Amino acid sequence: MNKAAFKRPFDLILNFRDVGQFVNQHGASSQLQEGRLYRSARPDHASLQDRRVLVEGYRIVSIIDLRSKTEHIRKAIDKAAGEALKMAQIQYHEINLNGGAFERALLWKLNWSSLTKFISLMVTGYRTEAIGILGREVMQPRGLVGLGIDSIDACGSELRQIFEVLADSRNYPIMVHCTQGKDRTGLVIILVLLMLGIPLDAIVADYMASEDELKPELQSRIKELGEIGLMEDFTSCPRTFVAEMYEYINKEYGSTQGYLQRIGVHEAMQQSIRDNMMG
């Protein structure tokens, strides 16, 4: 099955695109190989045809799922009576990007009363309600840019795991996703493209494309975010996001390559990724 045959390839997977193809068309001068790295929103509700296109059309070998334990629990409940969540032909790498260190960094921003309540809710199984405290009191005030910076500082271990997957040529083609495929996925793709030396304008275009791609589920996403204490602005793609991540990394770590070295993505691993992705 030829992926080029699909004009609108998926029934129920949003925000899907070939990263190499997109940035090549937006100023990267055909620097990246196409058909190697894809990004999307959650594929949980993929139809049988969607699954067929992923496996036979795009020939996806590996999926990097950046979601949290809470999101996986909700996914399992939603799909309990439906299709199997995972496709047997695909290798899954579940790497909670905003895992332990990130969660601890946010928790220490809570006052003592809220921290006590958060712990009590988590211990008694009310995970969504607990996350709502973090959402209202920490995540919403920090905003998407602030949380992106927090991720850069706190999520080095998880990012190293992601880059280890990207460095292994046997894992390609790879699809990266979170829930919307916008924020966590966006940050990972930004770091990859910065490491590869892709022009900022092309990286911004790729990041901003998610806003229009996600419009079909805007209202349901607003409701979903409200359940964890976040407002409608978290559905957007701040136009300054890429530039602010770039400037912060350069200021605090010297360069993207320097940042990656700091978190354990050594030069040989970076070169393997270049070899896997560059045209």
Reduced to 3 states (helix: H, G, I; strand: E, B; else coil), residue 153 is helix
**Residues 33, 168: Cα–Cα separation, whole Å:** 16
Q: Check if the beta carbon of residue 150 is closer than 8 Å to that of residue 102.
A: yes
Sign for the pseudo-dihedral over CA of 42, 173, 160, 84? positive
For the ranges 169-173, 187-191, 224-228, which has the lowest average pLDDT?
Answer: 224-228
Residue % of the chain over a pLDDT of 90: 78
Which residues in 34-190 belong to E strands, given as ranges?
37-40, 62-65, 91-94, 174-177
Residues 6+ apart with CB under 8 A from 136: 229
Q: What is the CA radius of gyration of the chain?
A: 18
Q: For residue 43, is the peptide bond before it cis, meaning its omega torsion is within 30 degrees of 0?
A: no
Give pLDDT, residue 6: 43
Q: Check if the beta carbon of residue 144 is closer than 8 Å to that of residue 241.
A: yes
The two structure tokens encoding residue 56: 């036979």
Give pLDDT, residue 120: 96
| Angle CA 58–26–165, to nearest 5 | 45
Residues 6+ apart with CB under 8 A from 129: 121
The two structure tokens encoding residue 8: 């609108």
Residue % of the chain over a pLDDT of 70: 90
Work out the burial of residue 148: count CB atoms within 10 Å of its CB; fewer than 13 is exposed, 13-18 middle, 19 or more buried. buried
How confident is the model over 209-255, as pLDDT tens digits?
Answer: 999 999 998 999 899 899 899 999 999 999 999 999 999 999 999 99
